[in-house]
Amino acid sequence: MKELEKLYDPARVEDDIYAFWLNGGYFHTKADKNKKPYTIVMPPPNVTGQLHMGHAMDETWQDILIRYKRMQGYAALWVPGTDHASIATEAKVVAKMKEEGLTKEMLGREGFLERAWAWKNQYGDRIVSQLKKLGCSCDWDRERFTMDEGCSKAVLKVFKYLYDKDLIYRGERIINWCPHCKTSISDAEVEYEDQEGSFWHLKYPIVGTDEFLVLATTRPETMLGDTAVAIHPDDERYKHLHGKKVLLPLLNKEIPIVTDTYVDMEFGTGVVKITPAHDPNDFEVGQRHNLPIVKVLDETAHMTADCGKYAGMDRYEARKAIVADLEAGGYLEKIEPHAHNVGTCYRCGTTIEPMVSKQWFVRMVPLAGPAIDAVRDGRIKFVPERFDKQYYHWMENTRDWCISRQLWWGHRIPAYYCDACGEVHVSDEPMTTCPKCGGALRQDEDTLDTWFSSALWPFSTLGWPDKTEDLDYFYPTNTLVTGYDIITFWVSRMIFSGLEYTGKVPFDTVLIHGLVRDAQGRKMSKSLGNGIDPLEIIAQYGADALRLTLVLGSTPGNDMRFSDEKIKASRNFANKLWNATRFVMMNLPEDFQAGLPAADKLDLSDKWILSTLNNLARTVTDNLDKFELGLAAQKVQDFIWEVYCDWYIEIAKVRLNSTDPEEADNARKVLVYVLTQALKLLHPFMPFITEEIYRALPGTSETIMTEQWPVFTEELNYAAEEADFEKLMDYIKAVRTIRAEMNVHPAKRSSMIIETSETEAFHRGGDYLAKFAFATDVTLTEKYTGDTAGMVQVITHAARGFIPMMELIDREKELARLNKEKAGAEKEIGMFSRQLSNEGFVNKAPANVVEEIRQKLARAQEKLARVEESIAALG
């Protein structure tokens, strides 16, 4: 039996315990036909990343589920891995090269990629080591990377598969362009923020007349790319202008007036400028009317050579110059302030530019339909369910997905071009010679969107496209744990990918967590300076304290607040558990044999604690199965702290000091058994301290990780004894509360008379009343009719106690207390009576709810009667 140190020091034990787990291979899982599989794939953090509070919450929730399922006997597999993060990684490597005076172009593609892989090999394992500090019980033998050989093979196969089905195509369409990252980004990667701007009202002269058409724009610099203005075909104001032209100000170029139902007649003047190269809606209008496409912004958001004297200007510099020239030429009618949503790059925050570009796209409509059906018919469920609305909205309004990126780090697009004959070939194997003419081929320079590879994560990590034992056994996976911010980015893409490429849903449940906010409820950010480093918290308080803090009070889908008070409370709980364990172990003899005593050797308190623990196992299991992780953690903590430490250990102390060796040994056995089972229930939430304590206790196995999860059993279902003891507890708590309010010293004891119909329960609890209710002697009666003068009355639902303590208390203070209880009871009676007198409520509410309120009313009326008797007794 291992002796625990006086103080629990997480920094001393956590690294050793994690090494013990790794060396023992306890995280590794194999396909086992005798077990049911349970699989989680880790949302791969960026290889550039560093552990933050969002990661910490995400991984803690996953680890809780995987440890729980492992103890339940599942073949529980948690697949870890990292994402190559094209934009972020390339930016870091380019920045490092800049310090050396180097650019990508100077090194060439191969030279740059050598640098990128070296950077990944040097820094890419950082976040993995940080996840281990958190206690993540991933199967590290199966760690994957989105650009490893297997995942890359899956990417190439999918690209060719979609291309062959005409679900991938290359064409000119409007895309979102980031001038800072110098790459396209998908619609899902655009973040919108409110920005103060203006509406510039411009006048376009109608050719051959003295009239003007007035229209408004928020981006006057794009007017140089206008190739038409549009009006609604049914707008009576402009019927006479059908087929006419306007003169584009500043460029003096004639452009047509087109009619299109896209125009909203009720908005503004009902006239819209059409810039097909720089607006997605204008692009569609341009396609319908065969309008030319004129790009006026380049990849750095500077004006192009087609822009005359404005060529080379930054977009905002050009805006000022163009507005000034419009005003000087009489083309500016007015300027109005206008706040509007502006798209920004999710990586760098730069305002994106919609622009026409030749890119690779995935046709989304054919893929979105089956993915929508999979959620609607229940094959995949969101927890909480409300997040399916966000999913439906995105999938039902989806646009073709731009998947090409103007980057070198990532999966290079497997398209090969023959300059000799103009053929395009797509292959999942390298190609050098054109099969048609024998000419040399050149591969597309672009790489694929990072999300293209991570969309395959649930099955590519298990060996797909090869038919592997792991894929056959562990796929589909079970629970995806993620934040609500990447439902569109990632969750939706995994769902349609799993269905299209494997014929199966990738997982059955999407468990959504919220954000971790600061104590004031603010989002953590660099600008606010309120970010919290999980590693610093672990160093100061331990990983278990951090994990418990991130789950207590949390509910699926809702944000939570992190504060010093919460983390300290979790640390204090760990210390409480440690000290309680040390007390138990100090009372164990060297020859102690673990195991429960026979049922006939258990006393009332034993049966109470065992039955309470028994019910706790059932409740916590139910909570975890419903993904109520915060509620489950709270119930386990409350049991250990309030039931086991604060009550049962104190109760057992009397028996530990008994002159009867058997009685003392029975108390020890129950103490150890309950502690051992409680540690198992706590283990998924606080794995380190539970492992350290568990291995120190007698009669335990090599590791708590592989122990059987506690389950409810009729053998330990002492419902009647549990109910009886709870009545005693309620009474004892009431006595102690009153004594504390009256400042009665614990050394001062008194006799008491207890009026109750539960005389058997109180008779069996005489020893507990003497010890914990400070009673010298107890008289039990079903109805007390004696003199109550000078007595303090203690009232619970099961009993009323009469305690002759008037000489120890302040009579006026006691009257004030009773009147306060009277007011409380009267308030409850009024509230419950109003509910029951409301016919609408009584008729519509469930019968069990109405009955519960009737019982509450009856109890409140009974309490009021007893309180009034007590007031009368004080004269």
Helices 104-123 and 86-99, axial angle in degrees (round to 10) = 110
Tokens read off for 133: 């500090």
Euclidean distance between CA atoms 175 and 358, whole angstroms: 9
Q: Phi-psi region for residue 394, left (φ > 0), alpha (ψ -120 to 50) or beta?
A: alpha
DSSP symbol at 352:
P
Strands 750-756 and 775-781: parallel
Q: Give Cα 755 to chain centroid, integer Å.
A: 52
Helices (H) and strands (E) in the chain, counts: 28, 29
165 is known to lie in a ligand binding site: no
The token pair that represents 625 in the structure block: 């199965």
Residues 802, 870: Cα–Cα separation, whole Å: 9
* Residue 67 tokens, joined: 């440890």
Q: Is 701 exposed, middle or buried (0-12, 13-18, 19+ CB in 10 A)?
A: exposed
CA dihedral 295, 298, 304, 310 (to 10 degrees): 110
CA distance 541 to 563: 13
Residue keyed to tokens 């330990």:
716
| Contact status, residue 345 vs residue 379, Cβ threshold 8 Å | no
- Burial code (b: 16+ CB inside 10 Å, e: under 16) for 834-850 equals ebeeeeeeeeeeeeeeb
User: Two tokens at 530?
Assistant: 């309120």
- 292 and 367 in contact (C-beta within 8 Å)? no
Main-chain phi, psi angles of 99, to 5 degrees:
-60, -25
| Residue 360: closest CA among 428, 399, 413, 287 | 413
Cis peptide before 384 (omega within 30 of 0): yes
CB 231 within 8 Å of CB 244:
no
Rg, the chain, Cα only = 36
Cα gap 641→520, rounded to integer Å: 28
Residues comprising the binding site for ATP? 526
Query: Which residues line the annotated binding site?
Result: 526
